[in-house]
Structure 1
Amino acid sequence: MPRLSRLGLATAAVATLGLASCGPTATTGTGSGGIPQGEYVLVGMDGGTVPLRNVTLVVGENQLTGRGPCNSYSAENNVALPALQLSPIVSTKMHCKDAPLENRFLATLQSATEMEFFGGVLKVKSPRTWLIFEHGHRADEAQVSALEAARGTQ
């Protein structure tokens, strides 16, 4: 095969891999109600943005789990998605400086009644507000610490 053809083939393969990595890879499948299962990160709550990407939600077929800035949590969903009727959320009980944010998040999630997924955004609706999530993973501790240090919040 001529060198130029091999170079073109290699370039096409790299481009294909690059495009494949652009899509939402956090999902493991689409659950009932059109809600993709997988890991999400909280980006909005109470009508505002969440400053750090340190709260996650993992959507399973009949369970929601995740991590907040202080603790991990889990709850069973007792109805079919996109509806929500969560069992009491079980959480580890460690305290940290972001406990107020985590407590507000968990209270909102506990009262949630439904989810919707559109345009890559997962919205969890409670009677008083929405939780807004995007596909992704929790920011690692080094990233969070560096951002907080830059903001002067440590």
Structure 2
Amino acid sequence: MKTLALISVAFLGIKACTPDETLRAYGGADRTWQLIELNGEEYTAAATLTFPETGEIVGQGPCNGFSASLTVPYPWFGAENLISTRRTCPDQAAETAFLQALQTASLSEVAGDMMILSTDTGLMLVFTAAD
């Protein structure tokens, strides 16, 4: 039993020492990202993203809050296991477009106060740091 406890503690220590290789570690952390453009058009509704902890995405769409997992290394992007509240509002179409694009994005780039999420086929979400 003592051996099992030592192995468990050692495993947790190794996991805690694993560096963050996601977008969060490459400029995404400690900021709130405001969506300003979706597929080449100005995004006039309110939508934000944050990366509060390693492996986490948290945000607010025009109608609902949401969260997802982010585990792929930068410059890749993958919003996995997205969950959202279920309120409806007048901007429901804008929210649906945003969340669908977010789940489709597979590449990321952070340059100063700009963050771009895209796919190799052209989908693009452009964010600016709101703080």
TM-score (norm. length: structure 1)? 0.63
Q: 1:36 aligns with which of 11, 28, 33?
A: 28
User: Larger RCO: Structure 1 or Structure 2 (Cα < 8 Å, ≥ 6 residues apart)?
Assistant: 2
Q: Which runs of 5+ in 2 are unaligned?
A: 1-22
Q: 1:80 aligns with which of 73, 76, 80?
A: 73
> Counterparts of 1:34-73 in structure 2 under 5 Å?
34-37=26-29, 38-52=31-45, 54-60=46-52, 61-73=54-66
Q: Secondary structure at the match of 2:102?
A: helix
Q: Secondary structure at the match of 1:103?
A: helix
Whole-Å Cα distance in 2 between the matches of residues 81 and 45 of structure 1?
Answer: 21
Match of 1:131 in 2: 125
Whole-Å Cα distance in 1 between the matches of residues 109 and 86 of structure 2?
Answer: 30
RMSD: 1.8
Identity of aligned residues (%): 25
Q: 1:62 touches 1:77 (CA, 8 Å); kept in 2? A: yes
Whole-Å Cα distance in 2 between the matches of residues 31 and 96 of structure 1?
Answer: 30
Match of 2:89 in 1: 96
- Following TM superposition, the consecutive aligned residue runs of length 4 or more in structure 1 with deviations greater than 2 angstroms are none
State the Cα distance separating 1:128 from its structure 2 match. Answer: 4.2
Q: Which runs of 5+ in 1 are unaligned?
A: 1-29, 138-154
Give the structure with higher Rg (CA).
1
Match of 2:8 in 1: none
TM-score (norm. length: structure 2)? 0.73
State the one-letter code of the partner of 1:59. Answer: F
